[in-house]
Amino acid sequence: MTAPKMRKEQFAELQKALPPQLPDFLAAQRWFGGKAHRVRSTEVSDVIPFGASQLESFMVLARVEYETGVRESYLLPLLARSAEDEPIEDGLQTMKVAIRGADLVLSDALRNEDFLLGLHAAIEAQGVFRGLNGELRAKQCRTYRDIFPASAGVLKPQPMKVEQSNSSIIYGDRLVLKVFRHVEPGVNPDLEIGRFLSESVHFPHIPAVAGWLEYSATDGQPATLGILQEFVTNQGDAWRFTLNSLSEFWQQATGHLSELSSLNSPDLHPLKRSGQPMPGIMRELCGRYLDATAVLAQRTAQLHLALASEPATPAFAPQPYTPQFQAEMAKSLHERAQNAFALLRQHVTEMSGDTRTEAERILKAENELFQTFATALSQPIAAMRTRIHGDYHLGQVLYTGSDFVIIDFEGEPARPIAERSVRLSPLQDVAGMLRSFHYAAFASVFATGTDADANSEDAHRRLKVAQVWYLCVAAYFTNAYLNEAGSASFIPANEEQLATLLRLHLLEKAVYELNYELNNRPAWVRIPLAGIASLLNSQAG
């Protein structure tokens, strides 16, 4: 590995010169999570020369403080070129800085093939890179050589086009490197759970972890910067597979809308139908998808069984519910619901038609929702809490054509790592998947309709049929999940308590969705509104 040509004192100057440039640069990046906040200040906490290629490159850790007082840290892999030799690209995608002896143009290094090859080479060599205030270590798992044998040669890197809160690079058809842009002290759950499932319990239905990038400040705990995983050949995620299946369903269901809509029920609690015979017409119209749903449910239960399988491992040992935990959970749910309802009040006058009617009805039921949370958590819960996926939905599962592979154990990125590592009921993951089915069903209706016919008789009939599809799929998934989980310690043996706990988590997820849609996608707010209304109407058990 060739060391960068820049001198240490120049990196120290860069640490001082970069902060004024950061607000505009960060705001232009798709992965930056602070766009809704006003930036008060920025600083560079470390600059780490990355001598893993012939390029002038380095890792910058930038700290952002917002007007609200919240602070976040971001990882910026940067490539430096001479301003004289390099034409200025889009000013929002580059930064121009002047330091002693050099005028530099800085750009995102993850767009450069040589730099990406250097990242893999660093993990291959288990390199250590020292910065001004800490060091970056590239590490391998025990599974590294199983996934990437020495004979595999050099793999061409290709950045993935879909970029969210992280940046991912595919190496050939063998490896994927996920770079965490938002950096927090502590081990990222994606790495911690991934290593546990790969190395300790050998769970086969995830991408095995091969290595990772870790940063250690001289005065703090290590932070995960990236995770290297096995590449899984797939046909897309389960969300896309589900929408494709729904498209086929609607093509066949067109002549049966009246018959199908008559099967509708206002109660969305999946245990009401779990174990009951599937209506013959639904089995006929979506049998292939139901079979796939059963496999997905089995993989989900197997994941939860694996996560609960080593009580001697402290970070994964199941824990019982306690009065204190339940009281804290009730308080947290109450606060989040309160915030969502306050936001709904602000926006309800902007709504119209059925959406406004539903919103006004939900607002009147606010106290009922709060009481539902309090009642569900006031009695002892006879089940164990375990590590879970934490952000489980159809988009977190890859479809291989015959099976499913579960990905992204990072949890909800907006929550601190400490919160994402808390043991919870696996039924929260089940609820997340069930709500995802509900979203898919209604999204399929929205995709085929227009605002002009939204209130037509046919549109209302289609909404009823979408709900029937959801009820059948949710019941099928829940039944297959419970059959696979069996008498696991995290499943309440009492059927009434099982129904109450699942309903609690379904409501929790729907309230989260309500807040999200009001902030990001108001046209879809009727989906969580419908979910909340029907779950409040349901009599669990």
Count other C-beta atoms under 10 Å from residue 291's C-beta.
11
* CA distances for 526 relative to 86, 342, 444, 530, angstroms: 50, 16, 14, 6
139 belongs to a structural domain: yes
C-alpha 401/C-alpha 235 separation (Å) is: 6
Q: Is 138 a member of any domain?
A: yes
Question: Contact, 251 vs 243, CB < 8 A?
Answer: no
Domain annotation covers residue 105? yes
Q: Which whole-number Å values give the CA distances from 142 to 139, 204, 210, 292, in the listed order?
A: 10, 15, 7, 33
In a domain, 488, yes or no: no
Interior angle at CA 195, CA 212 and CA 317, nearest 5: 140
Distance CA 217, CA 133 (A): 6
The Cβ of residue 28 has, within 10 Å, a number of other Cβ atoms equal to 14
* Nearest-angstrom CA–CA distance, 81 and 97: 11
pLDDT (0 to 100) of residue 412: 85
Helices (H), 408-494: 417-420, 427-448, 457-485
Instruction: Give the length of the chain.
Output: 541
Domain count, the chain: 1
Paired tokens of 214? 């870790």
Q: Has residue 39 been placed in a domain?
A: yes
Q: For residue 515, give the nearest of 303, 345, 286 by alpha carbon.
A: 345
Closest to 398 in 3D by CA, of 407, 410, 386: 407
Taking CA atoms, 48 is separated from 37, 222, 263, 366, in Å, by 28, 15, 62, 51
Cβ(446)–Cβ(517) under 8 Å? no
Nearest to 158 by CA among 139, 141, 177: 177
**Nearest alpha carbon to residue 77 among 33, 114, 124:** 114
- Is 407:231 a contact under the CB 8 Å cutoff? no
Kindly give the confidence (pLDDT) of every residue in the chain, 541 residues in length, as a single tens digit, with 9 standing for 90 and above. 333 466 777 888 889 999 999 999 999 998 998 887 899 999 999 999 987 656 689 999 999 999 988 899 999 999 988 876 655 555 558 898 888 767 888 999 999 999 999 999 999 999 999 999 999 999 999 999 999 988 778 899 999 987 678 999 999 989 999 999 999 999 999 999 999 999 999 999 999 999 999 999 987 789 999 999 999 999 999 999 999 999 999 999 988 998 998 888 877 678 877 667 888 999 999 989 999 999 999 999 999 999 999 999 999 999 999 999 999 999 999 999 999 999 999 999 999 888 999 999 999 999 999 999 999 999 999 999 999 999 999 999 999 999 999 999 999 877 889 899 999 999 999 999 999 999 999 998 876 654 445 567 788 889 899 999 999 999 999 999 999 999 999 999 999 999 999 999 999 999 999 999 998 888 899 999 999 998 988 754 4
SS (H, E, C) 385-414: EECCCCCCCHHHEEECCCCEEECCCCCCCC
> Domain residues for 146?
8-230
- Is residue 180, in this structure, part of any structural domain at all? yes
* Residues 79 and 94: beta-carbon distance below 8 Å: no
Torsion angle of alpha carbons 30, 36, 37, 38, nearest 10°?
Answer: 80
pLDDT at 339: 95
User: What distance lies between CA 356 and its chain's CA centroid?
Assistant: 30
CA distance 308 to 394: 22
How much is the CA Rg of the chain, to the nearest whole Å? 25
Assess if residue 222 is contained within a domain.
yes
Is residue 18 in a domain? yes
Residue 128 corresponds to which tokens in the numbers above?
């250590």
Closest CA to 412 of 226, 227, 182: 182
Give the pLDDT confidence score for residue 86 in this predicted structure.
56
Alpha helix locations (H) across 102-156? 113-125, 144-147
